[in-house]
């Protein structure tokens, strides 16, 4: 039986649901039925919109039932056609199909704008000031908190545990150097505080892969089996989406030395170039490439930082000069290094040209990074498999 996905909508990136679901399926043979079902139910609750998918999953039998024809042909079977049973589909089969077909699921879409939004007069929930990215960010952090993503660092209350919880404001203060930031009060933040909190919570979130309900005295859900990897993927996805919608030209870096830090947004082609340069560089140059990229794309980057980034790339190319000579005409090879030597980039002397726009630094950085990536491929082509 093929699973009908038409009523399910994603709240997560499809790749993250697939990876977390595959982990549950791999471990299901080593755990009890109830344990893997609990983990699967929690994952579906988090990753899919509404309660439809969870309800469909929970009403299935733990084990797949025989096919309709097999039951009808069995004289000892109690199966009665038309009773609403779902032969051939158990929880494991349903969940396996869902995870294998995550690419077919559609993303949950925000409702079409309502009247105040179309009129441009939407107010915050308290009716005072227009909503902005700070308030939306506080809401995102609140959702992570409600789902147990901050329990590993902040702790969790329990009626049976009288131990003292960590002071959340102090945890943030130790990282950011600003006191009294928890609970979040976005109306009090300046820009630096806002951006600092975005980066801090990237490092604090950790996904609980298991939860159990403690009914005594209405204690509530308790979370366990934390892992920061999937939490940070989800956090970056949600926050970067928020920043794009707010027209803020920064995003949280997904890789590199500046992982989880706000960096300048680039177009898709340059983002792919950065990805290849970070992941395909030989081990002896990886650190220099990572450092150069971090210097160049940092939110607080300066002209001097960009010069330093170019210097790091130029040094890599100097070490590969013999390789470049093999593939480039002599004049082309010379021009590549003349840029770095004749302009105010690597050396400081009276003969260097200094009067040029900072956009020139952007151009030469991307040119040099593309050349590093090209030489990476040339080196790889010469390396025996």
pLDDT tens per residue across all 385 residues of the chain: 789 999 999 999 999 999 999 999 999 888 788 899 999 999 999 999 999 999 999 999 988 876 544 554 555 544 444 333 355 789 999 999 999 999 999 999 888 888 877 776 554 444 444 458 999 999 999 999 999 999 999 999 999 987 889 999 999 999 999 999 999 999 999 999 999 999 999 999 999 999 999 999 999 999 999 999 999 999 999 999 999 999 999 999 999 999 999 999 999 999 999 999 999 999 999 999 999 999 999 999 998 899 899 999 999 999 999 998 888 766 666 677 777 676 655 545 544 555 567 888 899 999 999 999 999 999 999 887 6
Q: Kindly state the DSSP code that residue 107 receives in the 8-state scheme.
A: E
Strands 250-252 and 262-264: antiparallel
Residues 357 and 302 occupy one common structural domain: yes
| Alpha carbon distance 194, 91 (integer Å) | 43
| Alpha carbon distance 74, 247 (integer Å) | 64
Residue 232 near residue 144, CB atoms below 8 Å: no
Query: Is there a domain that residue 33 lies in?
Result: yes
Phi, psi of 189 (to 5 degrees): -85, 140
Decide which of 216, 250, 284 is a domain's last residue: 250
Query: Is there a domain that residue 328 lies in?
Result: yes
Residues 204 and 244 occupy one common structural domain: yes
3-state secondary structure of 123: coil
Residue where the block lists tokens 């082509």:
381
Query: Is there a domain that residue 74 lies in?
Result: no
CA 6 to chain centre: 26
Q: How many CB atoms lie within 10 A of CB 235?
A: 24
Residues 6+ apart with CB under 8 A from 335: none
| Alpha carbon distance 187, 338 (integer Å) | 51
Residues 6+ apart with CB under 8 A from 325: 333
CA torsion angle 28 30 35 37 (round to 10)? 10
Residues 277 and 346 occupy one common structural domain: yes
pLDDT of residue 357: 74
Residue 274 near residue 256, CB atoms below 8 Å: yes
Quick one: tokens of 165? 């919880």
Output the pTM of the full model: 0.87
Residue 369 near residue 292, CB atoms below 8 Å: yes
| Alpha carbon distance 319, 375 (integer Å) | 11
Q: Kindly state the DSSP code that residue 66 receives in the 8-state scheme.
A: P
Query: Is there a domain that residue 122 lies in?
Result: no
Strands 262-264 and 207-214: unpaired
Residues 190 and 215 occupy one common structural domain: yes
**Nearest in space to 153 (alpha carbons), one of 207, 230, 218:** 207
Q: With the C-alpha atoms ordered 60, 63, 64, 70, is the resulting torsion angle positive or negative?
A: negative
Domain count, the chain: 3
pLDDT of residue 39: 97
pLDDT of residue 344: 56
**Nearest in space to 376 (alpha carbons), one of 295, 276, 296:** 276
Quick one: tokens of 93? 């089969």
Query: Is there a domain that residue 231 lies in?
Result: yes
Residues 238 and 163 occupy one common structural domain: yes
| Alpha carbon distance 202, 252 (integer Å) | 9
Decide which of 219, 250, 281 is a domain's last residue: 250
Residues 246 and 270 occupy one common structural domain: no
Residues 270 and 349 occupy one common structural domain: yes
Q: How many CB atoms lie within 10 A of CB 136?
A: 16
Q: Quick one: how many helices (H) and strands (E) in the chain? A: 17, 6
Residues 244 and 275 occupy one common structural domain: no
| Alpha carbon distance 324, 374 (integer Å) | 10
pLDDT of residue 81: 42
Query: Is there a domain that residue 73 lies in?
Result: no
Residues 302 and 346 occupy one common structural domain: yes
Residues 102 and 173 occupy one common structural domain: no
pLDDT of residue 325: 87
Quick one: tokens of 105? 């699921």
Query: Is there a domain that residue 335 lies in?
Result: yes
pLDDT of residue 69: 46
**Nearest in space to 226 (alpha carbons), one of 156, 321, 313:** 156
Range of the domain at 30: 9-67+87-107
Stated length of the chain: 385
Residues 153 and 234 occupy one common structural domain: yes
pLDDT of residue 162: 79
Query: Is there a domain that residue 153 lies in?
Result: yes
CA torsion angle 70 72 77 82 (round to 10)? 120
Residue 97 near residue 89, CB atoms below 8 Å: no
Residues 191 and 277 occupy one common structural domain: no
């Amino acid at each position: 039986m093929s699973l009908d996905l038409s009523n399910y909508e994603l709240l997560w990136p499809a790749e993250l649901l697939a990876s977390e679901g595959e982990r549950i399926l791999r471990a299901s043979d080593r755990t009890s039925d109830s344990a893997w079902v609990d983990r699967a139910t929690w994952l579906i609750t988090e990753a899919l919109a509404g309660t439809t998918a969870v309800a469909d999953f929970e009403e299935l039998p733990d084990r797949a039932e025989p096919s309709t024809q097999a039951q009808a042909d069995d004289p000892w079977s109690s199966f009665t056609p038309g009773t609403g049973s779902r032969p051939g589909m158990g929880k494991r089969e349903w969940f396996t199909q869902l995870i294998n077909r995550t690419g077919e699921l559609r993303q949950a879409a925000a409702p079409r704008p309502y009247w105040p939004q179309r009129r441009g007069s939407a107010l915050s929930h308290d009716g005072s000031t227009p909503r902005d990215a700070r308030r939306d960010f506080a809401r995102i952090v609140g959702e992570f908190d409600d789902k147990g993503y901050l329990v590993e660092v902040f702790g969790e209350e329990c009626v049976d545990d009288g131990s003292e919880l960590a002071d959340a404001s102090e945890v943030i203060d130790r990282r950011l150097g600003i006191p009294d930031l928890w609970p979040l009060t976005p109306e009090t933040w300046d820009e630096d505080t806002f951006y600092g909190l975005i980066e801090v919570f990237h490092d604090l979130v950790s996904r609980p892969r298991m939860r159990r309900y403690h009914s005594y005295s209405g204690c509530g859900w308790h979370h366990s089996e934390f892992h920061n990897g999937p939490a940070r993927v989800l956090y970056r996805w949600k926050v970067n989406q928020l920043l794009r919608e707010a027209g803020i030209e920064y995003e949280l870096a997904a890789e590199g030395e500046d992982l989880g830090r706000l960096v300048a947004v680039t177009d898709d082609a340059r983002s792919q170039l950065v990805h290849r340069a970070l992941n395909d560089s030989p081990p002896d140059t990886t650190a220099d490439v990572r450092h150069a990229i971090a210097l160049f794309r940092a939110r607080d980057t300066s002209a001097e930082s960009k010069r330093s980034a170019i210097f790091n790339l130029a040094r890599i190319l100097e070490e590969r000069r013999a390789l470049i000579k093999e593939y480039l005409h002599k004049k082309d090879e010379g021009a590549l290094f003349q840029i770095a030597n004749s302009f105010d980039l690597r050396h400081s002397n009276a003969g260097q040209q200094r009067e040029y726009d900072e956009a020139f630094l952007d151009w030469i950085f991307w040119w040099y990074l593309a050349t590093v990536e090209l030489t990476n491929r040339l080196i790889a082509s010469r390396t025996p498999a």
